[in-house]
Chains A and B, each alone.
Chain A
């Protein structure tokens, strides 16, 4: 083996096999690492550094240590904004986790059997994911419009006037409604991933269970669900990461302020308003504080992902 390796990588011929292998791996990693460092990690790291500075504009120069963080947690206004955004983000994530992924699992389970029209339904379920968030946000705003939106017209026609509500205007309704819009768009993602997982389960196993008289319900919980666990893990972590960074749908449906009354303000919109755009109508960004908010978001996500990696590895080795 070492003999052939020597021939294949002539330039590294002077190295011993172990170092040569290391060099090979480094070469494999190099392009990705260079692009990633230059165009993502570098700029991001440099920006996180800004959380220790204060000043107006995007390049604050006055070093203040941890003052931005102290303000974020001790100034009642900042603390209230941050906790509000954090809570909303958790709700937003929880709705996706529960509704989107449960629906995904249900659809995948239904689609994994063979029946007429299966391809049609599969195509439909994923279709909204190909639309832009801007399009989706705008469309649903039209449909949920209190005056001429379809949802309220349907409730009115069914003589259920009490359900014809200003869906996007009530503080307790707007966030769930926008979350469900986002679920509408993205439910195809977990569906497809679960479907891939389900198709990996051997038919003989399922047949054997059926012959033993197991109900579909039992088969799902006893066989499919345990075998799907690794996929569920991946879906969960992707849902977590995507939704803790969600911005576009709120921006499209409720504006950067998270109207009404900050009830749909997420960590990403709070960051955008604070660090990038500034609050209407003044619009002077406070990049230092924005970076502090982003760093906190990063810390939350990192904790979540690292603990997931830890547990999934532990599970894998057991």
Chain B
């Protein structure tokens, strides 16, 4: 009993220290975005003496953040949907198809994790231009879907391989086609693994500013990450605005995360409950 209390005490101490380390910088970011520049430097960690919304006003007026958010959400949602759908189909085939072709393709997909995609930038720009997608956010979707394939096949194939084989056999004896086995049995079971894939890709897609930078010039097609990187450059000497811009990019994501955190972590960890 005493041991348990000691352990609980240790748990709280460790986790509280880490929480402070995590929250303190985020606090600094938010609190300073409401201070005039001079005060940021004189007292970077206290509450604002004079509260100002100038940074936000300026950032919102200069950058079309409402548009940037909508664009980014459209791109992220469609790309994620496609990654999960075609990635899981491919993973199912890679896991169940007993053929050297499947083994080869598995390695071929995973190889994509290992080369910086920036290397292929020039070919991609040409491709996007040939498709007449340059300067639109649609140009980002096929690239992000392709970028998502390695991690999707890697995680999902491993997951399907772990599923007990009897389940598939039983379904097939009942007369189900591979498509039905996939859509009715595997897909629902894969949810936790899909959540992992979704999170990995969502973070990458949401934060990517390289492809928007080379594909997109038009204001109306910009994404949040691109808008932030441009405005951030513009405001380097004006910390109030720079921090406001960074907060504008970070806070919606944080709120979304906090709201969904329970579901999200449940999704990530649920897969293991089956034992």
B92 close to chain A: CB less than 8 A = yes
Contact B14 A110 (CB under 8 A): yes
Contact B124 A43 (CB under 8 A): yes
Given A9-B177, A234-B158, A305-B114 in contact, is the A132-B249 Cβ separation under 8 Å?
yes
Contact B94 A294 (CB under 8 A): no
On chain B, the residues within 8 Å of A294 by CB distance are: 115-116, 119
Contact B102 A139 (CB under 8 A): no
| Stretch of B53-61, B62-70, B202-210 lying at the A interface | B202-210
Interface members, chain B 104-150 (any A CB < 8 Å): 105, 107-124, 127, 142-143, 145-147, 149-150
Task: Tell me the minimal C-beta distance from A90 to chain B in angstroms.
Answer: 16
Chain B interface extent, by class: 35 or more
Interface members, chain B 148-196 (any A CB < 8 Å): 149-150, 152-153, 158, 172-173, 175-180, 182, 192, 196
B73 close to chain A: CB less than 8 A = no
Task: Tell me the minimal C-beta distance from A7 to chain B in angstroms.
Answer: 9
Contact B86 A298 (CB under 8 A): no
Contact A28 B178 (CB under 8 A): yes
Contact A200 B89 (CB under 8 A): no
Given A40-B146, A125-B22, A150-B45 in contact, is the A31-B123 Cβ separation under 8 Å?
no
B48 close to chain A: CB less than 8 A = no
B216 close to chain A: CB less than 8 A = no
Given A113-B11, A302-B111 in contact, is the A119-B262 Cβ separation under 8 Å?
yes
Contact B93 A25 (CB under 8 A): yes
Task: Tell me the minimal C-beta distance from B152 to chain A in angstroms.
Answer: 8
Given A40-B146, A192-B269 in contact, is the A31-B119 Cβ separation under 8 Å?
no
On chain A, the residues within 8 Å of B99 by CB distance are: 22, 25
On chain B, the residues within 8 Å of A26 by CB distance are: 93
On chain B, the residues within 8 Å of A33 by CB distance are: 90, 105
Interface members, chain A 93-128 (any B CB < 8 Å): 103, 106-107, 110-111, 113, 115, 117, 119, 121-128
Given A31-B90, A39-B143 in contact, is the A134-B7 Cβ separation under 8 Å?
no
B51 close to chain A: CB less than 8 A = no
Chain A interface extent, by class: 35 or more
Contact A134 B102 (CB under 8 A): no
Task: Identify which of A41, A113, A148, A202 gathers the most chain B CB atoms within 10 Å of its CB.
Answer: A41
Residue of B at shortest CB range from A181? B25
Q: Is the interface of B mostly helix, strand, loop or mixed?
A: helix
A276 close to chain B: CB less than 8 A = yes
Task: Tell me the minimal C-beta distance from B191 to chain A in angstroms.
Answer: 13
A107 to B12 alpha-carbon distance, docked (Å): 11
A150 to B254 alpha-carbon distance, docked (Å): 23
On chain A, the residues within 8 Å of B121 by CB distance are: 43, 58, 276
Given A24-B178, A32-B153 in contact, is the A127-B26 Cβ separation under 8 Å?
yes
B246 close to chain A: CB less than 8 A = yes
On chain B, the residues within 8 Å of A110 by CB distance are: 10-11, 14-15
Task: Identify which of B19, B24, B41, B108 gathers the most chain A CB atoms within 10 Å of its CB.
Answer: B19
B272 close to chain A: CB less than 8 A = yes
| Stretch of A74-82, A166-174, A257-265, A267-275 lying at the B interface | A267-275
Task: Tell me the minimal C-beta distance from A243 to chain B in angstroms.
Answer: 12
Contact A298 B115 (CB under 8 A): yes
Contact A130 B253 (CB under 8 A): yes
Residue of A at shortest CB range from B153? A32
Of B41, B142, B178, which is within 8 A of A35 by CB? B142
Contact B207 A290 (CB under 8 A): no
Contact B182 A28 (CB under 8 A): yes
Interface members, chain A 175-204 (any B CB < 8 Å): 184, 192-193, 195-200, 202
Interface members, chain B 252-268 (any A CB < 8 Å): 253-254, 256-258, 261-262, 265, 268
B1 close to chain A: CB less than 8 A = no
B23 close to chain A: CB less than 8 A = yes
Contact B108 A39 (CB under 8 A): no
Would you give 17 A-B contacts (Cβ < 8 Å), ordered by A? A21-B178, A32-B86, A32-B87, A32-B89, A35-B145, A38-B146, A42-B120, A44-B119, A58-B121, A132-B206, A134-B225, A150-B45, A196-B268, A197-B272, A245-B114, A268-B116, A301-B114
The 8 closest A-B pairs by CB, nearest first: A43-B120, A200-B272, A43-B123, A39-B146, A32-B90, A301-B114, A28-B93, A8-B177
